[in-house]
Structure 1
Amino acid sequence: MSSERDATGRVVLVGGGPGDPGLMTVAGLDAVRSADVVVTDRLAPVAVLDDLGPDVEVIDVGKVPFGRATPQEEINRILIDHARRGRTVVRLKGGDSFLFGRGGEEHLACTDAGVPVTVIPGVTSAFSVPALAGIPATHRGLSQGVSVVSGHVPPGSPDSTLDYGALARSGTTLVLLMAVTNLPAITAELLAQGLPGATPAVMIENGSTPAQRVLRGTLATIARDAAEEEIAPPAITVIGAVAALAEQLAPGLPPPSRAGSEVAFPSR
């Protein structure tokens, strides 16, 4: 660990992947275990925090949908302030911090502040969670590509930069992240843009944790069914022919033995 006497600490952005700690990279685990401070959120594989020593400070900066949220500017400040005190600070993210995460913003903030920062990519939930439900993102003869879409902005919003018509015509598997609330609007737009309503669709909630649930349907039904089943974030939606393979292929891994994203943060 870093000494408090060190002139300058550093920040390491660690992509944790989905909730099961067994899916973290060796480099990511090594970084967490050598940290003085771990800045994390509820979607990270927080079970790894149970193995840390008593001197490691754990800071929860989680964001709960429609609830408590830590502003990104405050997260940046925490990373920089602790690094300037000579500490090794690990920012542990759920998913990969460079895929629809704020890793890029955190990297720039540290760089602008003159704080050394490195990136350890994670196992992205966009592909690992579907695989755990028996869904390959691509498959010969079914899909020759995949498009990963952030659903935090609905179609038609002034802030939306996506061409849903192009997505509907692309012939690729569509993987939707952060798209629980806006799923009705997204599926309606894809239908309006010509994607057939019978296109297979699957939602996976709490991927890689003991609470994982899989909901199968079609583009025309998945949003309604998700509301009826009270699917809640974090959840990933896969739309395309490969989604039908979930009924034929065995899941990629057995159920994890530890609760991952359901584990409470330790009090330190």
Structure 2
Amino acid sequence: MDRNDVPAYPVGLRLSGRRVVVLGGGQVAQRRLPSLVAAGADIVLISPSATPSVEAMADAGELRWERRGYRAGDLDGAWYVVVATGDAEANAAASEEAEARRVWCVRSDDADAATAWTPATGRSEGVTVAVLTGRDPRRSAAVRDAVVEGLRDGTLIAPRHRGRTAGVALVGGGPGDPDLITVRGRRLLAEADVVIADRLGPRDLLDELPPHVEVIDAAKIPYGRAMAQEAINAALIEHAKAGKAVVRLKGGDPFVFGRGMEEAEALAEAGIPCEVVPGISSSISVPGAAGIPVTHRGVAHEFTVVSGHVAPDDPRSLVDWGALAKLRGTLVMLMAVERVGAIAAALIEHGRGADTPVAVIQEGTTAAQRRVDATLATVGQVVTEEAIRPPAVIVVGEVVAVGRGIRR
């Protein structure tokens, strides 16, 4: 059998503090050197010239550069050599020296003459992926990219089993479309032991979890209404103290009307490590998905996000509706479906025009997305007639009319 038809034996070289010789300072060296630097190798570059990037590495002290061509004896004491010059004779001579000294040698000009091949490598969260497909480097790169991307976005589930720290991640799941969760959030979901999910989180992602993951619907934790948040906090602490990796999956962003800070404070008081993973807020993503820009040149230079979960005349309200009515920009309201009539009346009473355009987007970014348009004067009636249900985002302002041309 031809020696080059035998598969390579994969191994991870620990080159920290060990002499590595790189012959040639061109594009190949420029690609290979960063990984060698990251590995802590004692790098000697031998080349009459180098690319600006390679020269910058030498100037920064990341390697030693000898400005000359290859000479016999340059591989003395080397553990590994990269041969990448444009001189075929020098490459062959260096390869012969490496063979004689039993130094593993990579050749950029002749893979068949090399004693080592460089795999297509990628890294994600402490994992190094190295792929070899013989003489097909493009396929190696494609496989590498697929694996690394899967690890990064959580579609390739590879949970940690050693060195994992128990704790809680408060993950913003985005507005509803499972593709709109962050890469970090999806990866943490893939590594979770317990997921405590909100009703408004991206529910489709829960179907992708392995069967051993315990999924708890936060809406079904037994409690009285006044104790809802306290019960959720207690569940987070209980599972984390049991040594579990816990994800609190919330809709939108944890800190935008998500009570995320209350949970973070409870965890800190209990001594539980907590990571906050921001999410795409529905306040900007849902209008965008419906073709509405919350700001637009010459139309709106600001937008305000406000909760409508209590009516304007409710003594618990912290919103200055009179001040909001005087603003000229966009008003985005969350949790306001049930009280939109009263809110619209308050805005009109304080000076906002009754003919101001309003859009109501139900189930934004999901397959059930639905948009209805109205004005401040009619929005209460339209919401009732159209049987709009939460979750819905309500947008008030001239940007609603701007977006009608690309309505989705």
Q: TM-score range by the shorter chain?
A: 0.7 to 0.9
- Tell whether the 8 Å contact from 1:2 to 1:86 is kept in structure 2 after alignment: no
2:151 counterpart of 1:151: no
2:399 counterpart of 1:242: yes
Q: Distance in 2 between matches of 1:73 and 1:51?
A: 29
| 1:107 alignment counterpart | 264
Letter in 1 for 2:268: T
2:179 counterpart of 1:22: yes
Q: Deviations over 1:159-182 (max 9, x none)?
A: 111111110111120000000111
Q: Distance in 1 between matches of 2:407 and 2:184?
A: 29
| 1:81 alignment counterpart | 238
Letter in 2 for 1:84: K
- How far 1:246 sits from its partner (Å)? 2.9
Letter in 2 for 1:234: P
Distance of aligned partners of 1:17 and 1:58 in 2 relative to their CA distance in 1, 3 Å threshold: same
| 2:216 alignment counterpart | 59
Q: Deviations over 1:178-210 (max 9, x none)?
A: 001111110000010010011110000011111
Distance of aligned partners of 1:78 and 1:5 in 2 relative to their CA distance in 1, 3 Å threshold: farther
Distance of aligned partners of 1:36 and 1:123 in 2 relative to their CA distance in 1, 3 Å threshold: same
Distance of aligned partners of 1:69 and 1:209 in 2 relative to their CA distance in 1, 3 Å threshold: farther
2:281 counterpart of 1:140: no
Letter in 2 for 1:85: A
Q: Distance in 1 between matches of 2:320 and 2:216?
A: 38
Q: Deviations over 1:66-113 (max 9, x none)?
A: x98971111000100000001110000011110011101000000000
| 1:200 alignment counterpart | 357
Q: Distance in 1 between matches of 2:253 and 2:227?
A: 19
TM-score, with normalisation over the residues of structure 2? 0.58
Distance of aligned partners of 1:95 and 1:127 in 2 relative to their CA distance in 1, 3 Å threshold: same
Could you tell me which runs of 5 or more consecutive residues in structure 2 were left unpaired when the two chains were aligned: 1-158
| Other structure's SS at 1:195 match | coil
| Other structure's SS at 1:183 match | helix
Distance of aligned partners of 1:206 and 1:26 in 2 relative to their CA distance in 1, 3 Å threshold: same
- How far 1:2 sits from its partner (Å)? 6.6
| Other structure's SS at 1:204 match | strand
Q: Deviations over 1:20-51 (max 9, x none)?
A: 10111101111111111000022100101111
- Tell whether the 8 Å contact from 1:205 to 1:233 is kept in structure 2 after alignment: yes
2:374 counterpart of 1:217: yes
Structure that is richer in helix per residue: 2
- How far 1:5 sits from its partner (Å)? 11
| 1:179 alignment counterpart | 336
- More displaced, 106-115 or 241-250? 241-250
| 1:254 alignment counterpart | none
- How far 1:62 sits from its partner (Å)? 2.3
2:131 counterpart of 1:131: no
- How far 1:53 sits from its partner (Å)? 0.5
- State how many pairs are aligned: 247
Structure showing greater radius of gyration is: 2
| 1:256 alignment counterpart | none
Q: Distance in 2 between matches of 1:25 and 1:116?
A: 20
- Tell whether the 8 Å contact from 1:142 to 1:241 is kept in structure 2 after alignment: yes
Q: Distance in 2 between matches of 1:174 and 1:233?
A: 18
Letter in 2 for 1:81: E
Q: Deviations over 1:96-137 (max 9, x none)?
A: 110011101000000000000010000100000000000011
Q: Distance in 2 between matches of 1:242 and 1:202?
A: 10
RMSD of aligned alpha carbons = 2.0
| 1:257 alignment counterpart | none
Deviating beyond 4 angstroms after TM superposition, the runs of 4 or more aligned structure 1 residues are 1-6, 67-70
Letter in 1 for 2:236: L
TM-score, with normalisation over the residues of structure 1? 0.88
| 1:45 alignment counterpart | 202
Letter in 1 for 2:286: V
Letter in 1 for 2:357: P
Distance of aligned partners of 1:69 and 1:49 in 2 relative to their CA distance in 1, 3 Å threshold: farther
Query: What percentage of residue pairs aligned between the two structures are identical?
Result: 51
| 2:273 alignment counterpart | 116
Q: Which has the higher contact order (CA 8 A, sep 6+)?
A: 1
| 1:265 alignment counterpart | none
Residue of structure 1 aligned with 2:384, choices 227, 244, 265: 227
Letter in 2 for 1:220: A
